[in-house]
Amino acid sequence: MNLDFSAEDIAFRDEVRRFIEDNYPAEVRAKQERGEPLGREDYQSWYRILGRRGWSAPAWPKEHGGPGWTAAQRFIFAEELGRAGTVRILPFGVNMVGPVIQAFGTPAQQARFLPPILAGDAWWCQGYSEPGAGSDLAGLSTRAVRDGDHYIVNGQKTWTTLAQFADWGFFLVRTDPAAKKQEGISFLLIDMKSPGVTVRPIITLDGAHEVNEVWLDDVRVPVENRVHEENKGWTCAKFLLSHERTGIAQVASSKRGLKKLHAAAAAELEDGLPLAQDPILARRLAELEIELMALEYTEFRMLAGEGAGKSPGPESSLLKIKGSEIQQRVTELTLEVAGRYGAPHLADLKPGDNALPVGPQHALHAADIYFNTRKTSIYGGSNEIQRNIIAKAVLGL
């Protein structure tokens, strides 16, 4: 595997960098810098800009409206988005249901659902986890009963990210309760405005409304909205999860977070030397940087495999484990460097609210981000489950 970028790749990198600098919405950047929560339009405004440029679905092939980029170009694009700190391209449409529809959907489904994803006009959410089926996803109990040309769906989903903004959701439902767990599941596309769909917020430890519970009460879903065969939805689910776990690695974002962490540690303290001169912290930063470099090379290997026509395999579990753990360690160290200014209640203060300064910029919402990042080792299949996958698929245990 050649790890050197070609002259064409470097020119592409410069093109992407200039495009971001010239087109990223100033109002979104300002909200990010102020630490304000982002709404649907904040995400979609940038996504639509990318869509008009033809860059909204980096991994899609040309026949489905994507740019048809090489593995190196996709890596460079993700790297530049992370470097610039743009809002994330939400994965639910582009990286999850879109590839499933391309691989298993009918031509009519592809014509109906793929163009709105590319344009940024359709917001998707994922209906997988249930109160009794998280890591053991095949234990789900949401039921879909055939009624002529429709399914009648009843059940509950939980931890449904940003469902409050969603137009559509892709749901795993049980269509044959008598079959083995993985063999009685179907993959349905459900209009979130359908009668009987109720979205209720779950407020997380950082005080944010990011996830939800979704109730489905006698929701009528056309059979034409089923992707792949009835009772074969587990095939779609496994295909989707391999792509989700790859995206969870977030190497570029971790590199940006580590760069900011180095800058924060190097800042001179009001009552002493910069923390970067502490040998214990310096060692921990160096160890974290080495692990992130190793993770990046693992991503290179997987991208090289994709370039050779291979689908994501157990390597996606490796990326998910190390990527999520590194994200958590970056936020842990950021909170430690913030010190007393990282106290959660200080995030809501403004200069002049009390006699004490609020603190340096790197401490803003450090506690909130730390709390929120605890979930990365759980969603997409917990890291314990990923280790089981590696043990079986790689080690043969």
The reported pLDDT for the residue numbered 330 is: 95
Give me the mean pLDDT over the 372-391 stretch. 86
Give me the mean pLDDT over the 306-330 stretch. 82
The reported pLDDT for the residue numbered 307 is: 64
Between the alpha carbon of residue 214 and those of residues 102, 156, 157, 186, the distances in Å are 26, 6, 5, 18
Between 155 and 385, name the one with better pLDDT. Answer: 155
Give me the mean pLDDT over the 42-47 stretch. 94
End residue of a domain, out of 177, 202, 233: 233
**65 and 183: one domain?**
no
**198 and 330: one domain?**
no
For residue 213, give every residue at least 6 positions away whose Cβ sits within 8 Å of its Cβ, in sequence order, or none.
Answer: 156, 157, 158, 159, 160, 199, 200, 202
**190 and 254: one domain?**
no
**270 and 329: one domain?**
yes
**255 and 388: one domain?**
yes
Side chain identity at 347, as an amino acid letter?
A: A
The 3-state secondary structure of 206-223 reads CCCEEEEEEEEEEEEEEH
pLDDT band at residue 51, thresholds of 50, 70 and 90? very high
Count the helix, strand and coil residues of the chain and give each as a percent rounded to the nearest 5. 55, 15, 30
**186 and 291: one domain?**
no
**229 and 266: one domain?**
no
Residue 240 lies in a domain: no
Side chain identity at 304, as an amino acid letter?
A: A
**253 and 282: one domain?**
yes
Residue 382 has pLDDT above 90, yes or no: no
Query: Which amino acids are annotated catalytic?
Result: 244
CA distance linking residue 381 with residue 126, whole number of Å: 13
The reported pLDDT for the residue numbered 258 is: 93
Please tell me whether residue 162 adopts helix, strand or coil conformation: coil
Give the CATH number, domain containing residue 210. 2.40.110.10
Residue 78 lies in a domain: yes
**278 and 325: one domain?**
yes
**27 and 134: one domain?**
no
End residue of a domain, out of 171, 205, 233: 233
Please tell me whether residue 114 adopts helix, strand or coil conformation: helix
HSE (CB half, 13 Å, CA atoms) of 128? 23
CA distance linking residue 183 with residue 181, whole number of Å: 6
The reported pLDDT for the residue numbered 327 is: 94
Between the alpha carbon of residue 162 and those of residues 48, 62, 139, 149, 317, the distances in Å are 18, 29, 24, 30, 24
Give me the mean pLDDT over the 162-185 stretch. 96
**208 and 340: one domain?**
no
Give me the mean pLDDT over the 335-342 stretch. 87
Give the CATH number, domain containing residue 258. 1.20.140.10
Answer yes or no: are the C-beta atoms of 204 and 211 closer than 8 Å.
yes
Tell me the per-residue pLDDT of 187-220, one tens digit each, with 9 for 90 and over: 999 999 999 999 999 998 878 899 999 999 999 9
The reported pLDDT for the residue numbered 343 is: 79
Residue 298 lies in a domain: yes
Give me the mean pLDDT over the 364-370 stretch. 85
> What is the domain range of residue 32?
7-89
Question: What proportion of the chain, given as a percentage, has pLDDT over 90?
Answer: 59
For residue 263, give every residue at least 6 positions away whose Cβ sits within 8 Å of its Cβ, in sequence order, or none.
Answer: 362
- Angle 33-35-36 (CA atoms, 0-180°, nearest 5)? 115
Tell me the per-residue pLDDT of 52-100, one tens digit each, with 9 for 90 and over: 999 999 989 999 999 999 888 988 998 899 889 999 888 899 999 999 9
Residue 16 lies in a domain: yes
Answer yes or no: are the C-beta atoms of 83 and 252 closer than 8 Å.
yes
**80 and 144: one domain?**
no
Residue 173 has pLDDT above 80, yes or no: yes
The token pair that represents 119 in the structure block: 């344009």
193-221 burial, b if ≥16 CB within 10 A, otherwise e? eeeebebeeeebebeeebbbbbbbeebbb
The reported pLDDT for the residue numbered 397 is: 64
Candidate ranges 166-175, 202-211, 380-389; pick with highest mean pLDDT: 166-175
Between 312 and 79, name the one with better pLDDT. Answer: 79
Mind giving me the DSSP string for 11-68?
Answer: HHHHHHHHHHHHHS-HHHHHHHHHTPPP-HHHHHHHHHHHHHHT-S-TTS-GGGTS--
- pTM for the model stands at 0.86
Residue 113 has pLDDT above 80, yes or no: yes
Give me the mean pLDDT over the 127-144 stretch. 91
Q: Which helix (H) or strand (E) holds 89?
A: none
Tell me the per-residue pLDDT of 229-270, one tens digit each, with 9 for 90 and over: 999 999 999 888 766 656 667 888 899 999 999 999 988 665
Domain count, the chain: 3
Mean pLDDT of all residues in the chain? Answer: 88
Residue 103 lies in a domain: no
User: Which of 253, 387, 239 shows the shortest CA–CA distance to 320?
Assistant: 387
The reported pLDDT for the residue numbered 344 is: 73
pLDDT band at residue 349, thresholds of 50, 70 and 90? low
Give me the mean pLDDT over the 284-303 stretch. 89
The reported pLDDT for the residue numbered 346 is: 59
The reported pLDDT for the residue numbered 351 is: 53
Residue 25 lies in a domain: yes
Residue 205 lies in a domain: yes
The reported pLDDT for the residue numbered 1 is: 47
End residue of a domain, out of 46, 64, 89: 89
Residue 110 lies in a domain: no
| Residue 152, strand partner residues | 145, 220
